[in-house]
Copies of this chain bind each other. A is one copy, B any other.
Amino acid sequence: MTFRNWWKSALLTMLAVCLVPIWATQVFSQTLAATPPMGWNSWNHFHRTIDDKIVRTQADAMVSSGMRDAGYIYVNIDDTWEGERDAQGNIQTNSKFPDMKALADYVHSKGLKLGIYSSPGAKTCAGYEGSLGHEEQDATTYAAWGIDYLKYDLCGLRTQLKAAPTPEAAHKMMVDAYIKMRDALRKTGRPIVYSLCQYGNDAVWRWGTDVGGNLWHTTGDITDKYDRMAEIGFSQAGLARFAGPGHWNDPDMLEVGNGGMNPEEYRQHMSLWAILAAPLLAGNDLTTMSPETVALLTNREVIAIDRDSLGKQGDRVTAEGPLEIWAKPLSDGSKAVGVFNRHTTALSIPVDFKQLGFKGSVQVRDIWQARDLGTMKDSYTVTVPPHGVVLLRVK
Docked pose: A238 CA to B346 CA in angstroms:
18
Complex contact B235–A203 (CB within 8 A): no
Interface string of A216-235 (1 = CB under 8 A from B): 00111000000110110011
Chain B contacts for A211, CB-based, 8 A: none
With a CB–CB cut-off of 8 A, which chain B residues contact A237?
319, 321
Instruction: Please name all residues of chain B whose beta carbon is closer than 8 Å to the beta carbon of A316 when the two chains form the complex.
Output: 319
Chain B residues in 8 Å Cβ range of A345: 199-202
A residues 296-343 near B (Cβ < 8 Å) are 316, 318-323, 342-343
Chain A contact residue count (CB 8 A cutoff)? 34
Q: Is A353 an interface residue (CB 8 A)?
A: no
CA distance A364 to B304 in the complex (A): 47
- Whether A344 sits at the interface, judged by CB under 8 Å, is yes
By beta carbon, the residue of chain B nearest A346 is B167
Tell me, yes or no, whether A289 is within 8 Å of chain B by CB.
no
Contact partners of A199 in chain B: CB under 8 A: 344-345
Q: How far is the CB of A178 from chain B (nearest CB, A)?
A: 15
Chain B residues within an 8 Å CB radius of A167:
346
A190-216 Cβ-contact flags toward B at 8 Å (1 or 0): 000000000111110100000000000
A239-B321 contact, Cβ under 8 Å, with A220-B344, A227-B228: yes
Query: How many copies of this chain?
Result: 2
**Residues of A224-279 contacting chain B, CB below 8 A:** 227-228, 230-231, 234-239
A322 to chain B, nearest CB (A): 6
Q: Taking chain A's interface residues, is the majority helix, strand, or loop, or is none over half, making it mixed?
A: mixed
Q: Would A321 and B231 count as touching, CB distance under 8 A?
A: no
Contacts of A238 in B (CB 8 A): 318-321, 323
In angstroms, Cα B347 to Cα A230, docked, is 22
Q: Which residue of B lies closest to A220 (CB)?
A: B344
- Decide if B321 touches A236 in the complex (CB within 8 Å): yes
In whole angstroms, what is the CA distance A199 to B345 when docked?
Answer: 9
Which residues of B lie under 8 Å from residue A200 when comparing CB positions? 321-322, 343, 345
Given the complex, which residues of B lie within 8 Å of A219, measured CB to CB? 321-322, 343
Give, as a whole number of angstroms, the nearest-CB distance from A321 to chain B.
5
**Contact status B344-A235, CB under 8 Å:** no
Closest B residue to A225 by beta carbon equals B227
Which of B201, B236, B321 contacts A218 (CB under 8 A)? B321
Given B201, B230, B320, which contacts A203 in the complex, CB threshold below 8 Å? B320
User: Would A203 and B321 count as touching, CB distance under 8 A?
Assistant: yes
| Contact between chains at B234 and A235 (CB < 8 Å) | yes
Please state if A231 and B220 are interface contacts (CB–CB under 8 Å): no
A222 to B: closest C-beta gap in Å: 12
The answer to whether A203 and B318 touch across the interface, beta carbons within 8 angstroms, is no
Partner of A235, one of B201, B205, B321: B321
Please indicate the chain B residues that have their CB under 8 angstroms from the CB of A239 in the complex.
Answer: 320-321
Chain B residues near A346: list those with CB within 8 A: 167
Check if B202 sits within 8 Å of A235, measured CB to CB: no
CB contact under 8 A between A227 and B231, given known A239-B321, A343-B200, A344-B199: yes
Is A347 in contact with B231, judged by CB distance below 8 angstroms? Answer: no
Nearest CB of chain B from residue A383's CB, rounded to whole Å: 8
A348→B318 CA distance, assembly (Å): 25
Nearest to A315 among chain B residues (CB) is: B319
- Closest Cβ of chain B to A378, distance in Å, is 20
Using CB atoms, name the residue of chain B closest to A200. B343
Residues 127-165 of chain A, each 1 if its beta carbon lies under 8 Å from chain B, else 0 = 000000000000000000000000000000000000000
Return the 8 tightest CB-CB contacts between A and B, nearest first. A238-B319, A238-B320, A237-B319, A201-B345, A239-B321, A203-B347, A235-B322, A231-B231
Given A227-B231, A316-B319, 9 further pairs, Cβ under 8 A? A200-B345, A202-B347, A218-B321, A227-B228, A236-B321, A238-B318, A238-B319, A238-B320, A239-B321
